[in-house]
Amino acid sequence: MLEYFQTLADWYMQHMNYLSITLLMIIESSFIPFPSEIVIPPAIWKAAGGDLNMPLVVLFATLGAVIGAVVNYVLALWLGRVIVYKLVETRLGKIFMLSQHKVENAEVYFNRHGRSSTFIGRLVPGIRQLISIPAGLAKMNFKQFILFTTLGSALWNVILAVLSYSLYTQQDMLKKYMSELSYALLAAGVLFVVYLIWKYRKKKE
């Protein structure tokens, strides 16, 4: 899976334009995992350097996110709940890092928040990419689905764009403290691995 991320990221860095932004955001928003945090920040940095246009980056990223969400919605609507839950437990589902637990979480979130969950859910990590599946399973009104998904996706992309541009303007500070930042990230990574090991052992007890 790491090789998959690396391959896509490398291709994107070599072919960064509005089309590639749209394509990767379609992937990000569908059932295929690829974080938008890898797509938007580099594009915003390139836009800040004058090679791209920031509003257009957000626009095409949002377009891609909506298209990817529609893919999930239509598949869930067409296949139905039983088949969707069977598919996520197949080998292909595992390759795409899907699981019954993840889909159940998205469905619970959708049932709890109703139609607005397709807006709010776009801002919630772990829910953002999958919230379209329960919307399709529930046969949510398509026009409302498009509206809430577009608004939520646009808001998330604007937030990422603003944060990315803020970092771009602080490059001197980032370079100054890059060593300290690297150690901090390394420490965070080690702690995360320790947490995963602890959680795994606790489950086995």
pLDDT tens-digit series, residues 70-107: 998 898 888 876 676 666 666 655 655 566 666 667 76
- Same-domain status, 54 and 130: yes
Is there a single domain that holds both residue 115 and residue 143? yes
- The pair of structure tokens assigned to 33 is 């995992």
pLDDT category at 178 given cuts 50, 70, 90 is very low
Same domain (yes/no): 59, 150: yes
146 and 106 share a domain? yes
Indicate if 201 and 119 belong to the same structural domain. Answer: no
* Average of per-residue pLDDT across 52-76: 92
Q: Are residues 72 and 118 in the same domain?
A: yes
Do 60 and 143 lie in a common domain? yes
Assess whether 179 and 164 both reside in one domain. no
149 and 74 within one domain: yes
Is the separation of the CB atoms in 57 and 161 below 8 Å? yes
- Quick one: 179 and 103 in the same domain? no
pLDDT in tens, 31-44: 676 777 788 888 88
Regarding predicted confidence, which is higher, 148 or 8? 148
Number of domains in the chain: 2
Same domain? 155 vs 82: yes
The pLDDT of residue 53 is above 50? yes
DSSP-derived secondary structure for 45-88: HHHHTTSS-HHHHHHHHHHHHHHHHHHHHHHHHHH-HHHHHHHH
User: Containing domain of residue 193, as a range?
Assistant: 171-205
Considering the domain architecture, whether residues 78 and 48 belong to the same structural domain is answered as: yes
Q: pLDDT band at residue 62, thresholds of 50, 70 and 90?
A: very high
In percent, how much of the chain has pLDDT > 70?
60
Q: Long-range CB contacts (< 8 A, 24+ apart) of 89-97?
A: 95/1, 96/31, 96/32, 96/33, 97/1, 97/33
